[in-house]
Amino acid sequence: MKLIGIYRSVVLFGMKQDPRGKDKVKKELLRAKNEYEKLSAKDKEFYDKERLENPYSDTRILFGKPDSEIKTILVGVDIEVGEIVLAERLKEKGEKIDLVMTHHPEGLALAGFFNVMYMQVDILSKIGVPINVAESLMHDRIREVERRVMPANHTRAVDAARLLDINLMSCHTPADNYVASYLQDLMDKKKPNTLGDVVDILREIPEYNAAAKENAGPKITRGDNLRKAGRIFVDMTGGTEGSKDIFKKLSEAGVSTIVCMHLSEEHFKKAQEEHMNVVVAGHIASDNVGLNMILDELEKKAKFKILACSGFRRFTRKK
């Protein structure tokens, strides 16, 4: 399978599992098109035109030839300079590596990843938060994240890949869409009674089971095993954490428990003020679930050798 085929497939997989639904994704692409058309000819030169076909600005081919034939992929949750050098060292030892795939974005995918946060507005609206409130809260949070990303040295890993001539791509929100949709469907179907039941359900999933054995698995950070779970919201996609002021609105919408990858201390305190139950499933374990599901879908199209590094562990659900 060619690199461009992998990239396009990953984007389509992400759209299929997008918690907003197909129509909202189409509207996001239309929003990008309208945004582009309103730009002056001078400004169009600097627009990331991939956004016209790919709604996930954190998922990109970062370096490489699109028509490269890919048979062996080195996959990691974080790929930085060290992992690129690791790929080159493995090649020196005889391992043919055609592509390095990172979950967390680098390069232009990192510089522009805040754009995917707009999807949180529709996700929040879908669970009952008024759209005007969701937009207002997310607007300020998105600008904050944009400012935080601006000073970063985005291109270090991409530069290393370029110098060593190693294909590199990121797969962030499509993978997060998979784990978010999968877990939300699972919780809706199993309807756990208590927070302890939520943790038990998560521990049955191979990635969380393995993480729990390394003291990095699901944990109740607010509440206890016997506390009633009530309505559960799985919050695992949309770039990064949303507004810290959203918990009051989630509570008003009837949400009792949040299952998330991670939660900052500032966000945790706001959840605590609203008496919200919090189950932290585990960041890297959750990323593993999403990546593994993406790879399962890719391997329905072609056969690959998958090498795991940087926090990634391959678990397959293929039949």
Q: For residue range 49-101, what is the model confidence (pLDDT) as tens digits?
A: 999 999 999 999 999 999 999 999 999 999 999 999 999 999 999 999 999 99
Percent of the chain with pLDDT over 70: 99
The pTM (predicted TM-score) of the whole model is: 0.94
pLDDT reported for residue 239 = 78
Alpha carbon distances (Å) from 75 to 158, 204, 281: 15, 24, 21
Neighbouring-strand partners of residue 101: 75, 169
8 A C-beta contact, residue 264 and residue 270: no
Give the chain's mean pLDDT: 95
- Domain architecture of the chain: domains with CATH: 3-174+286-309 (no CATH), 178-283 (3.40.1390)
**pLDDT bracket for residue 318 (50, 70, 90):** low
pLDDT reported for residue 238 = 83
From 85-94, 136-145, 192-201, the region with the lowest mean pLDDT: 136-145
**pLDDT bracket for residue 38 (50, 70, 90):** very high
> CA nearest 255: which of 278, 237, 239, 273?
278
How would you classify residue 182: left for phi > 0, otherwise alpha for psi between -120 and 50, otherwise beta? Answer: alpha
Alpha carbon distances (Å) from 182 to 170, 185, 273, 289, 293: 21, 5, 29, 9, 10
Count how many residues are written for the chain.
319
Average pLDDT over residues 150-171: 97
pLDDT reported for residue 241 = 86
Contacting residues for 267 by C-beta, under 8 A, at least 6 apart: 241, 244, 247
Q: At residue 137, what is the residue type?
A: L
8 A C-beta contact, residue 93 and residue 215: no
